[in-house]
A = this chain, B = another copy of it.
Amino acid sequence: MKSIRQSQLFTKTRREAPKDEVSKNAELLIRAGFVHKDMTGVYSYLPLGLKVLKKIEEIIRKNMDAVGGQEMFLATLQSKELWEKTNRWDDKVVDNWFKTELKNGNELGLGLSHEEPLTNLMREYIRSSKDLPKLAYQFQNKFRNELRAKSGLMRGREFLMKDLYSFSKDEEQHLVIYEQVKQAYTNIYKEVGLGDNTFLTFASGGIFAPFSHEFQTLTDAGEDLIYLSREKGIAINKEVLNDEVLKTFNIERDELEEVKGVEVGNIFSLGTRFSSALELVYANEEGKRIPVIMGCYGIGLGRLMGAIVEVLADEKGIKWPKNVSPFHVHLLNLDTKNELINEWANNFFDGLTQAGVEVLYDDRDVRPGEKFNDADLIGIPLQVIIGARSFETGSVEIKNRLTGDSEAMAIDKIVDYVMNVI
């Protein structure tokens, strides 16, 4: 479905989101027909929403492949035994498990993360330092039994995540990869349209590194508190802010602005935490068994989608950056009862589609006001508006949803214009 007539789309815009929905991103995405709320923290992706998700996925995939990532698809059902080896099975240690069981009573976990099964799997393939480094990633649902889930798509109980894992022979090799992935992440936020609002942030590193790195997108809907110096380009998560850390970064507390952010990515040095527990080792030149150094690198795709909505939406609705918009063009036909206009609009729709342009074509038999409102709610960046007046003036209206700018354009110039801006 590269292009579609809006009359055929199985979703419709809605006046109101469910009453129990408290987050702006979910409210707008539900009203515009991108997602459906199945229950608190659980959303289904409808055709418009899936198109955005797939565009985000493709941007991430390109950047993961560029650093040498190899894509795989791990199972959701996970065995208790592996998680016991890393001491993460107990509900007192990891408090957001969803668990289930086989017919024979054996307990299983629903993948809340995939370090354990992947580390175990890699034992088949890593034997010597020649087998390192390796980077493996996937797009796979994660399940987390959150007590509260009030941030819409930004904190789900079930959500699609890209998780990349790196396997290195030593710290030096690990750090090279870590920096490459950090750069890839920066590219990703830029490409999805959040580059200006997203800051590399120092956060808790655990036992193997002084810090981990988060990518925080500034929004009042975020759940994290960040201390930011735009001037010095430094951002620190409140969870690690103390005098020693301020000294490390050679910065004073009052140079930092307190802002709210949503963590749209996290990269983390795992050291030998998992490789030691699960015996993922390689033999060095002297035949000694050395545990592999690991890193993990996550991006929640739904969360990123929610963050884009939170940051860019206005009172009329969503504004999609062009790289992640479900369609390139929203074509509004205001006079569907006029045969000439209809024929012209149909041909224009077919022509654009054949040229590879993705078009949502509003051919519905409804009032112009409703079309304008729906188009602003859905948020495709480029609106092309045609009607009976187009024939009189020889021009159509082009509206940029992101800037609000609107201009008349000669009919014979539109295709070139569209092909240029998408």
Chain A residues at the B interface, C-beta cutoff of 8 Å: 1, 4, 8-12, 14, 36, 38-39, 42-47, 49-50, 53, 65, 68, 70-79, 98-103, 108, 110, 117, 121-122, 124-125, 131, 134, 136, 141, 143, 145, 147, 157-158, 160
Contact = CB atoms under 8 A, between A and B. Distances in A.
Given A117-B38, A145-B103, A124 B76 contact: no
A255 to B, nearest CB: 41
Given A1-B70, A36-B121, A77-B98, 11 more contacts: A10-B131, A36-B124, A39-B77, A45-B72, A47-B72, A77-B143, A77-B157, A77-B158, A98-B100, A100-B110, A103-B145
Given A77-B158, A110-B110, A125-B11, A72 B100 contact: no
A117 B44 contact: yes
Given A65-B1, A70-B4, A10 B134 contact: yes
Given A72-B45, A100-B100, A102-B145, A14 B50 contact: no
Contacts of A72: 44-47, 49-50
Contacts of A4: 70
Given A11-B125, A100-B98, A75 B38 contact: yes
Contacts of A76: 76, 141, 143, 158
Contacts of A12: 124-125
Contacts of A100: 98-100, 110
A342 B73 CA distance: 33
**Counting chain B CB atoms within 10 Å of each CB, which of A73, A110, A122 scores highest?**
A73
A70 B45 CA distance: 12
Contacts of A11: 124-125
B75 A43 contact: yes
B145 A42 contact: no
A162 to B, nearest CB: 14
A79 B38 contact: yes
A77 B42 contact: yes
B10 A136 contact: yes
A47 B71 CA distance: 5
Contacts of A45: 72-74
18 contacts: A4-B70, A10-B70, A10-B136, A11-B124, A14-B124, A36-B121, A36-B124, A38-B121, A42-B77, A44-B75, A45-B72, A47-B136, A73-B160, A75-B158, A77-B98, A77-B157, A98-B100, A103-B145
Nearest to A12: B125
A169 to B, nearest CB: 14
